[in-house]
Amino acid sequence: MNRKRSKLLVIIGFINFFFGYTQDKPEVTKEYANEISTIIKSKAVQLAMNTIDSLDEQTIDNMVMLTEIPAPPFGETKRAEKFKDLFIASKVDSVWMDSEGNVLALRKGEKRNKLVVLDAHMDTVFPQETDVSVKKEGNTYTAPGIGDNTRGMAMLIAVLDGMNKASIKTDADIVFVGTVGEEGLGDLRGVKHLFSANSDIKIDSWISIDGGGVGRIINGGLGSKRYKAVFKGKGGHSWGAFGLANPHHALGNAITLFVEEATKYTQIKGPKTSFNIGRIGGGTSVNSIPFESWMEVDMRSLSPKRLLEIDSIFKRSMKNAEIKYNSSGVENKVTLEIIPIGDRPSGTLDKNTPLVQRAISVTSFFNIQPKLSTGSTNSNIPIAKNIPAITISRGGKGKGAHSLHESWTNINGTESIKMALLITLAEAGLAQ
- The contact set with Zn ion (CB under 5 A) reads 148-149, 210-211
- Within its chain, how far is the Cα of 159 from the centroid? 20
H/E stretch holding 324 reads helix 304-326
Check if the beta carbon of residue 426 is closer than 8 Å to that of residue 243: no
Phi, psi torsion values for 44, nearest 5 degrees: -60, -40
Q: What is the nearest approach in angstroms of Zn ion to the Cβ of residue 210?
A: 4
Check if the beta carbon of residue 336 is closer than 8 Å to that of residue 322: yes
Pick the closer one to Zn ion by CB: 74 or 291: 74
Pick the closer one to Zn ion by CB: 125 or 158: 125
Per-residue CA distances from 226 to 75, 195, 196, 251 (Å): 22, 21, 21, 17
Check if the beta carbon of residue 254 is closer than 8 Å to that of residue 317: yes
Q: What is the nearest approach in angstroms of Zn ion to the Cβ of residue 208?
A: 9
d(CA 250, CA 374): 37
Q: What is the nearest approach in angstroms of Zn ion to the Cβ of residue 380?
A: 12
Q: What is the nearest approach in angstroms of Zn ion to the Cβ of residue 115?
A: 23
- Within its chain, how far is the Cα of 380 from the centroid? 7
d(CA 300, CA 276): 9
Q: What is the nearest approach in angstroms of Zn ion to the Cβ of residue 377?
A: 7
Pick the closer one to Zn ion by CB: 55 or 191: 191
Pick the closer one to Zn ion by CB: 184 or 252: 184
Pick the closer one to Zn ion by CB: 214 or 229: 214
Pick the closer one to Zn ion by CB: 210 or 322: 210
Does residue 149 have a cis bond before it (omega within 30 degrees)?
yes
Phi, psi torsion values for 309, nearest 5 degrees: -70, -45
Pick the closer one to Zn ion by CB: 145 or 233: 145
Q: Long-range CB contacts (< 8 A, 24+ apart) of 83-89?
A: 83/122, 83/153, 83/178, 86/62, 86/157, 87/157, 87/160, 87/176
Q: What is the nearest approach in angstroms of Zn ion to the Cβ of residue 124?
A: 8
Q: What is the nearest approach in angstroms of Zn ion to the Cβ of residue 76?
A: 13
301 DSSP 8-state letter? E
Pick the closer one to Zn ion by CB: 218 or 297: 218
Q: What is the nearest approach in angstroms of Zn ion to the Cβ of residue 392?
A: 12
